[in-house]
A and B are shown apart, each in its own frame.
Chain A
Amino acid sequence: MIDPSSSDFWPGLFHVLMVGTGQTLYMVSVALVITVLVGLPLGVVLVGTEPGGLFSAPFGSRRFGVVANRLLEFVVNLGRSVPFIILMVALIPFTRLVVGTFIGTTASIVPLTVVAIPFFARMVEIAIKEVDSGLVEAAESLGATRWQIVSKVLVPEALSPMILGMSTTVTSIINFSAMVGVVAGGGLGDVAVRFGYQRYSTIHMVAVIIIIFLLVMALQGFANWLARRFSHQGRVARSARTAASMRVQPAL
């Protein structure tokens, strides 16, 4: 039990929270970068290999496309259905192979990434499916290659929902990052377990909850702002117009 009235309690709390927040941000940001780098192409391929899609017949083989699509679907569903705590433990040999150890903050990035990639790939898939097929047709009529269709049409037009999908992904990475305390992964979750739970410090617990809440809120707000900035669809234009008309009204 920690004594909140002792003179080194508050400086200690501050230090522990700083270190925990730093570790969480480190884990989450590295995991996010890898997730986007892998999940974005994976999502594109997931949509593309569907029958009638852009890559429905890679290397001229329709069967290859179908097999690739089924396989990816399976992997994504598997990754999304295994509970994180089990996945984390099951991945220990793989983590050791990649990082050299399965203990510590860097090692925790591996299971966090593995759980986030299928999640984000689904978000990308959904966002890209929302893109009007007429846009693809227009690009094809201009002589676009498949790569140009992906890079100039599908991804830019799906950017707004993908950013929102990314913020949902980050939230769940933060969520899962609190669990890696189990493999001594550090971070805010570790602080909550070691101080809040094992040593009965309610103040630590509350502080961790507040910090995580603020993190998620800030991220969500930032993502919403970014998504609006990249969306030039009716809603934004309309609100811009109503704002303009409201400025005009007093003059009338």
Chain B
Amino acid sequence: MSENYIYAVARVRCKELTLLDSSVMDSLLAAGSYEECVRILADHGWSSEGENSSPEAMLASEREKTWDFIGELTKDMSIFDVFLYANDYHNLKAAIKESFVHTEHPGVYIDKSQCTVDPEVIKKAIVEKEYDLLPEDMRQIAQETTDVLLHTGDGQLCDILIDRAALIKIYESGKKTGNDILKLYGELTVASADIKTAIRANKTGKDIKFLERALAPCDSLDIKALAAAANDDEDAIYSYLDRTVYADAIPEIKKSPSAFERWCDNRIIRSIRPQIHNPESIGPLAAFILARENEIKSVRIILSGKLNHLSDESVRERVREMYV
């Protein structure tokens, strides 16, 4: 953390001018067609590199631009790994399942530019059972999950174990950075995942053992109390959440899972917004990455809404708050 971020923050301030604000989001929502949306985005510098002009290619290209820009600003990118661990564990999940069913689905892997571990290394480690190729904290869970899948064939259990390991990794590495924004990101990621899991487990009638295996520890939730509440009934979950900092989320959880996801993303954006005025720390860089991810997520929702002819209202209620 001894790196000096004055130069980097000044560059981020300039780049923040290119972020999409709520007026651009309104224009996108008001656009009559997908093509019109693409034109509006192109006016704001969004484009896909190469010949592939699909929405996913454009979004991937925008994400790549963000990471290239951040790469120019800091020598040590590892501090931002907290944003990439979810992709590593997704690839681990894909590799284990692929190895179990003995078929290949190259499209399920997230590109190595968005990961801390090359997906090919993960695949090799799982197929050849050479777990030492994996990072230390991934080895045990990879071995355990492979064994569980082989013995039980339970894909959901495999998902739960890996998701929990990913959440613990995100939470711990966020804390380890010592930066408030990254710590908050780790905390909110774990807490929102735990709340979603508790609600889903309650609706599908899962037992307390399942909940204890699925919930990852964090500071803002008592996972034992949450598991007990989820084992009881839905009102018990709301009653527990009412005593936590997530009381505001209850109406959104009741509305729909997507409304709760939107609430979680908006909460992160509101928490990082003070970074707009921070002149010299890593905070504005982390906030810029999160703002860009949030922007990409909202654009994806709008574009898929336009492509699938969804009503403006249903798309609008899914679009996130903007950072600027």
- Say if A and B assemble together: no
Binding site for B on A (CB under 8 A): none
